[in-house]
Amino acid sequence: MNQPSFSELYERQISLKEIGEFGQHLLQNSSIVVVGCGGLGSMVAVKLAASGIGTIHLVDYDVVSISNLHRQVFYTLEDVGKSKVNCLKKYINKITPFVKIIEHQLMVSKNNINEVLQHAELIVDCTDDLYIKYLINDACVMSQKTLIYGSLHKFDGYIATFNHLLADGSRTANLRDAFPEIPEKLPPSCAEVGTLNTIVGIIALYQANEVLKLVLKKGSLFTDKLFIYNSLYNTFQTIQLQKKVTETKIKADFEQADYSSKSCESKLDIESLSVNEFLEKLKNDNVTVLSFGGKLPKNRHSDKVIRLPYLSFDPFNMPIKHTHEYIIVCERGTLSYDAGLALKEAHPTLKIYNLTNGLQALTNLF
């Protein structure tokens, strides 16, 4: 069909007297950063794009996996193994021509957080790592950014707007005013205890709704409070927050902390190989390469490579040579790492490696 006009696409929003053409152009001229493009982030990005937010920066390093699909509903089976930010950009481009999507294929860390946040004044935290959540919060406080926070645990969802600028020049409460320190014992992740499809969508919609109100300067916000919703029992809880932790204290904590998630350190023995280590391993006869990304460049070492679609990967039932070491590879090295953990769980005595940065790292070597 022909490309719609701006007024046609946003007609139902423009007809709201609280928005109108002026408000719609405010949305069009706004820019946000969405950190994390999983269950929360993919829904937030699509809803805000459909609402007319003009520029959306998508930040994520991950690829789509099978276990994502039950709640990350804008990805499909055809997207498995592909970059989340790229798949999400393609989806959004199909529903609106008026939104600019900028991809940032990276893992957020202390070294790059300021670079990530510089692109907008509104930051939407859709990550699932508590260390990274504190990193984003602390960086937003120091750089004077408003943070729209969302998190999940089983049937519970949490939403807040942190560090928002008030008329008197002060800022509202932030994550450390609710929980001053990162807990020594982290709660189990969603991967460990699970999460319900619908609570993911509910909290993502709350986050998107906060962004729209912030841009339009309409309605009331989840400021100086942490809102908790339980989808199993339809219960609501609001924890009131007061500014307690100073920016000076947060800056001092930032200097000391490395924000590295110990939960990401696998208890299983999965070693990462550099390109040179990988090439050295290939000299051994008792090495098998399990590839989800196709052949090695120029089809080298084809006798050692087992190629299979990730959808067909069954670590408990596939034939295994226990005298061999296994190197798992994919295009970027992320999907293969997850597969390596699954294979190690199925075969604890097996020696398993993951190729860092995947097949892309080998492109110019053969």
Which residues are catalytically annotated?
190
Contacts 24+ apart (CB under 8 A), 128-131: 128/36, 128/38, 128/152, 128/189, 128/190, 129/189, 129/261, 129/263, 129/264, 130/182, 130/183, 130/186, 130/187, 130/261, 130/263, 131/182, 131/259, 131/260, 131/261, 131/262, 131/263
Which value, to the nearest 10 degrees, does the dihedral of the CA atoms of residues 290, 291, 292, 294 take? -150
Return d(Cα 121, Cα 143) in angstroms, integer.
Answer: 9
Of 169, 168, 162, the closest CA to residue 139 belongs to 162
Q: Please give the C-alpha separations between residue 334 and each of 63, 66, 307, in angstroms, as whole numbers.
A: 7, 13, 17
Return d(Cα 146, Cα 174) in angstroms, integer.
Answer: 9
